[in-house]
Amino acid sequence: MIPRSIQEALQKIVGPKHLLTQKEDMFTYSYDAAVLDPVMPGAAVIPENTTQLGEIIALCHENHIPITVRGSGTNLSGGTIPRTSGIVVLTGRMNRIIEINAADMYAVVEPGVVTATLAAEVEKLGLFYPPDPGSMAVSTIGGNVAENAGGLRGLKYGVTKDYVMGLQFFDCQGNYIKTGSRTVKCATGYNITGLMVGSEGTLGVLDQVILKLIPAPKARQAMVAVYDTIEQASETVAGIISARILPATLEILDNFTIRAVEDFSKAGLPKDAAALLLIEVDGHPAVVAEEAEQVKDLCRKMGARTIDQAKNDAQRDRIWAARRAALSALAQLKPTLVLEDATVPRSRIPDMVQALQEIGKKYKIDIGTFGHAGDGNLHPTILTDRRNKEEFHRVEQAIEEIFDTALAMGGTLSGEHGTGIAKAPFLEKEAGYSSILFSRQLRAALDPRNILNPGKITGV
């Protein structure tokens, strides 16, 4: 509950229309896209500008009120699930693209800008903002930075952290902090930008983000390879990378996912195939043509049954529509969908794919696997019904075993979804207790009253 005096103070900052306190509205800010129990905040505020945002934070600090910042609430680790005693700060009205500088190839945006909107604006100028998380049609830049979101292009182009040049944010007391710059190089002070990316709102509240842009690739070529065994497909992935080719995207779909996509979209996928690889190379036209041939040769050598190359944009779109339909198609099968993102060094993809199949069998659950094979980031997708307690318990056991398996291969619990609440209890397994302690001390120093998104990442 938020005391009345504080509600009044918040109302004074943002105006009555932009403070929400009714229980119904609170219920709509109690969840995100992670499969976790909802928690209702005490209030939600929708600031419009930097001044209002700073005042809100100072007010909360003074009164020890927890703050959870929320963009579109699409994260998959519970990063935006608030505290009952706290408030939710919504970034929806802070959604201005402040500057796109084509000469210096950067953009300055507010946290509420939708990723796809920025990508489209940048494209109009012949520039490219590569990070493309699956939710980019709705996800915000603020959320992408806070979660260090990835996407399909990680292999060649990296993830959000590779594009954040600088930030302006409020610390827990409402002081305005600037870090990084608009220059390609910047060697002053601590690399606070790096620390802030992926910090899930636990170290500060973003106000502006400076993003690096790159020239848009001139040509691209998409293709699909069909395999009779999943081993052949995953060995092709390893083969392409050892041939020193970096495709822009290199995605895998297992048989379970292929069948679901085909039943759902009737796209003409071979339902008997054990795996599909969807590959796209991009860059200079001559290089694209050469690399496409090399990739096709490699696929054939590794035993691909067929290889189809997109001859035009329509065919290319059809290939990627099949990939985009993967999550949708799987989501139709059962009420609850748990999307994991445990990631392994890419050379271990064949082992991980096999381990996932065994885990599915062992716990008698349905796991569809697809994802970014090229960067080691698979998405084992568990289909279940959360209301079936017995089955859901098996799902939780399976998830823990997936984590253990990924760590044993030298991998990580999360490639791109973040720690949040969902993975906080497991973090020690990956990093060890002293790493957690270090993180907690860092946090305690920067946020002694523990008001910045408490409970996330470090478990406190």
Partner 1 sequence: MTGMKELANLVKELEEQLVTCIRCGMCQSVCPLFEQTRKEADVARGKLALLTGLMDNIFTDPDGVNERLNRCLLCGSCAANCPSGVNVVEIFIKARAILAEYKGLSPAKKLIFRQLLANPGRFDALVEWAGRFQDLFTKPSADAQGTSCARLISPLLANRHFMPLSTTPFHKTLPKKGFTSTGSGLRAAFFTGCLIDKIFPNVAKASLKVLSHHQVGVVIPPGQGCCGIPALASGDRDSFTHLVDHNLALFEKEPFDVLVTACATCTSTIKKLWPTVYKNPSDDIQQKLNALAEKTMDINQFLVDRVGIDPLKNFSDPAGSDQGPDIVTYHDPCHLKKSLGVADQPRQVISAAGCQLNEMAGSDKCCGMGGSFNIYHYDLSSSIGKIKEENIENTGCTTVSTGCPACMMQISDMLGKAGSSITVRHPMEIYASRLKKNTP
Residues that bind partner 1 (CB under 8 A): 20, 22-25, 27-33, 38, 46, 72-74, 90, 92-93, 114, 116, 135, 137-138, 327-328, 331-332, 335-337, 385, 387
29 vs 363 by CB, closer to partner 1: 29
CB of 115 to partner 1, least distance (A): 10
**Other Cβ atoms closer than 10 A to 271:** 12
CB of 387 to partner 1, least distance (A): 7
CB of 5 to partner 1, least distance (A): 24
CB of 33 to partner 1, least distance (A): 5
Q: HEC states along the chain? A: CCCHHHHHHHHHHHCHHHEECCHHHHHHCCCCCCCCCCCCCCEEECCCCHHHHHHHHHHHHHCCCCEEEECCCCCCCCCCCCCCCCEEEECCCCCCEEEEECCCCEEEECCCCEHHHHHHHHHCCCEECCCCCCCCCCCEHHHHHHHCCCCCCHHHHCCHHHHEEEEEEECCCCCEEEEECCCCCCCCCCCHHHHHCCCCCCCCEEEEEEEECEECCCEEEEEEEEECCHHHHHHHHHHHHHCCCCCCEEEEEEHHHHHHHHHHHCCCCCCCCCEEEEEEEEECHHHHHHHHHHHHHHHHHCCCCEEEECCCHHHHHHHHHHHHHHHHHHHCCCCEEEECCCECCHHHHHHHHHHHHHHHHHCCCEEEEEEEHHHCEEEEEEEECCCCHHHHHHHHHHHHHHHHHHHHCCCECCCCCCCCCCCHHHHHHHHCHHHHHHHHHHHHHHCCCCCECCCCCCCC
107 vs 338 by CB, closer to partner 1: 338
CB of 153 to partner 1, least distance (A): 20
152 vs 327 by CB, closer to partner 1: 327
What is the rounded CA–CA span in Å between residue 46 and residue 94?
Answer: 9
317 vs 385 by CB, closer to partner 1: 385
Is 416:151 a contact under the CB 8 Å cutoff?
yes
CB of 334 to partner 1, least distance (A): 9
CB of 132 to partner 1, least distance (A): 14
126 vs 335 by CB, closer to partner 1: 335
**Other Cβ atoms closer than 10 A to 415:** 24
Amino acid occupying residue 203: L
What is the rounded CA–CA span in Å between residue 383 and residue 386?
Answer: 9
100 vs 114 by CB, closer to partner 1: 114
Q: 32 burial class (0-12, 13-18, 19+ CB within 10 angstroms)?
A: buried
CB of 310 to partner 1, least distance (A): 23
46 vs 378 by CB, closer to partner 1: 46
CB of 339 to partner 1, least distance (A): 9
CB of 112 to partner 1, least distance (A): 8
User: The tokens of 458 are what?
Assistant: 């470090």
72 vs 148 by CB, closer to partner 1: 72
Q: HEC states along 262-295? A: HHHHCCCCCCCCCEEEEEEEEECHHHHHHHHHHH
71 vs 166 by CB, closer to partner 1: 71
137 vs 444 by CB, closer to partner 1: 137
71 vs 360 by CB, closer to partner 1: 71
CB of 386 to partner 1, least distance (A): 8
CB of 93 to partner 1, least distance (A): 7
21 vs 221 by CB, closer to partner 1: 21
